[in-house]
Amino acid sequence: MASFITFSLFNLYLALIFAALVTANATFSEHFAKTKLTPTARKMTRLHFYFHDITSGKSPTAMAIIRPKTAFGTTVMIDDPLTVDTKPGSKVVGKAQGFYALASQHDLALLMAINFAFTYGKYNGSTLSVMGRNPVLDEVREMPVVGGSGVFRFARGYALASTVRYSLKTGDAVVQYNVTVMHA
Ligand SMILES: *[C@@H]1O[C@H](CO)[C@@H](O)[C@H](O)[C@H]1NC(C)=O
Ligand SMILES: *[C@@H]1O[C@H](CO)[C@@H](O)[C@H](O)[C@H]1NC(C)=O
């Protein structure tokens, strides 16, 4: 018992020395408040649409491509319609293409790796890329928009997602997306 305590104290001592050394030598963050970070991103656009994740029926748009024995690691490839309204039949403005995967062993948090490929008006042919963490049971989930193409060149921003409908029976979901991006 006594030797265990001594050992622990010694470890703590080492840890403190190490922490002091790291604090002395490493800089975790620095601010450059006066630097113009993205002179290329001059516009800001807000988009509002609904994402239809359809896993059931004759023509699903989301399909599990990896099904491990546990839920963890389950990966779903999607080609989900994006519409202007919550109804599945409403005007399609693009597709969400990519995959999401259950990346947490403790809660329902997904890794989202998707591109929004827009087909509407001046956005036709332009894309936005989302790469982020999506804790699906949270009321509002924020995910980074990490880039874009076409009218969205140099894009960066964020997406706020909130579930409008989810069917436990079919697994189908409708999710509202509010996307704010700065771009060229
Ligand atoms: C979008 O662009 C494609 C390719 O240029 C074209 O075929 C299509 O008709 C366009 N769609 C809309 C809705 O403008
Ligand atoms: C998204 O935008 C809609 C329409 O502008 C708004 O009603 C809603 O509260 C917004 N949701 C979030 C999470 O910001």
Superfamily of domain 28-183: Allene oxide cyclase-like (2.40.480.10)
Q: Are 49 and 94 in contact (CB under 8 A)?
A: yes
- Decide: residue 168, CB within 10 A, 0-12 exposed, 13-18 middle, 19+ buried: exposed
Full-prediction pTM beyond 0.85?
no
In short, whether 86's Cβ falls inside 6 Å of ligand 2 is no
For tokens 């703590």, what's the residue?
12
- Tell me: the pLDDT tens digits for 108-126? 999 999 999 999 999 999 9
Tokens of 110: 């997904």
pLDDT in the model for residue 70: 94
CA–centroid distance, 41 to ligand 2, in Å, is 24
Q: How many CA atoms lie within 13 A of 177 on its CB side?
A: 30
List alpha helices for 71-125, DSSP H.
Answer: none
| Alpha-carbon span 71 to 152, nearest angstrom | 35
Model pLDDT, residue 88: 74
Give percent above pLDDT 90 in the chain. Answer: 76
Local structure of 22: helix, strand or coil: helix
Residue 178 CA to ligand 2 centre (angstroms): 6
Tell me what the mean pLDDT of segment 81-90 comes to: 91
CA gap 125, 148 in Å, rounded: 11
Query: Is residue 147 within 8 Å of residue 159, measured between CB atoms?
Result: no
List, for residues 129-175, the tens digit of each pLDDT value: 999 999 999 999 999 999 999 999 999 999 999 999 999 999 999 99
What does the DSSP 8-state code read for residue 121? G
Long-range contacts of 60-67 (CB under 8 A, 24+ apart): 65/99, 66/101
- In the block, tokens 């997904």 appear at 110
Residue ranges around ligand 1 (CB below 6 Å)? 119, 124-125
